[in-house]
Structure 1
């Protein structure tokens, strides 16, 4: 086996934050005599999330067993996910900051599944995956990400399951979304559907797309972390992984 040194496109501030999270957890549970110090466990987790390295590759690179790499990475992911922004707090902040509107969009995280696994198959995306709901600001700032649902779940149903539609209505926040959310309510604006639309509706759709476009870049920010381009672990960890990534993304962007 060959080994090599590689760079990780993240700041030292992000590593320091993740290290602090791991160190405080170890202190709280009285954990001692571990194979790796907190900083190395945090670095291993960042490598896994940002570059999508497998547990076998992590184990070889950090000099531990595959089981230890799996346990350390998942422990850190759960700790980081618990610190992700919560929906009520995000909506309160959006109202306080007087954001003109929010952007709601669904994203499919691809997974390893076969054709027989129909509950995981998204007809919209024509692949197997897990459905996540993402809320962004008008400038594309990633504000919140939901937990996971099977890919066959429609975006509007997913938004209702997570209480997003109701929470947006109660907060009185105008939201832009694509055609998948038609019927969500007057506070969620979607494009006009159908062929042969009058020019006024076509122009309204173009304006809607221009306003929604920057907000939908939040999905691209999410998938800049390679682990979320295609999951090769339990698909029901997709939400926790996305929330952990969001926590790190906020720390990384705050350091710029």
Structure 2
């Protein structure tokens, strides 16, 4: 059974608009061209008051009649809303139940897709970040998406990731080979982590190798640059009294004794290289325990 309007009449409003409009135009002519001065101010105030009175009267009449004309419409809207509310009270439990069912099916499809992904990652031997990129997409949980379509899409993505993974592995192997070769002539060894930002940014192997060679050249030049020998000022021999011989022996032993100290040095690559050069220049043995970007 459909909700219907049994009787409907379009509102018909007949006014004396033309007559009032013509009469108003004639009266308004008397107010046009008024200029406010000190002498005409009282008359202008009276004119403005008269015009305001007519304007308010028309507007109040409009509001009154509009309210009367809207009563049937508002009553119709109220009836419609009441009928809709009755339907919604019965409809809501059904919608909620359907949502629970849909959420359950979606979760089942999500788990199903995750299992397919796990198998695909194993079959294509994906590792690390490439394996992590093979995630469950929202479209896999759509009730209209078949298991076959999900499997095909996952395997296509896995294949593309495998190609990217193999390419990166080849790139890393080449980079490691070049690093080992260049490090053979260096004291301060370069690490692959020094160039990880270039690898992650997708730069070609050729560009990365070129950067490795350039950096190796800079390090090698700095490590082998000719330095002016420093003259150590000599001190005059001082007479040693026999009574102080034991103290002199202790002082010599103190100078020859070896010590070890641990420092954490933070600076740019060039600054750290300067520290290494300083230690070598003064015959101080040192070992680099760790080197990383912070």
TM-score of the two chains, using structure 2 as the length reference: 0.18
Relative to its length, the structure with more strand (as a share) is 1
Greater relative CO, 1 or 2 (CA 8 Å, sep 6+): 1
TM-score of the two chains, using structure 1 as the length reference: 0.20
Relative to its length, the structure with more helix (as a share) is 2
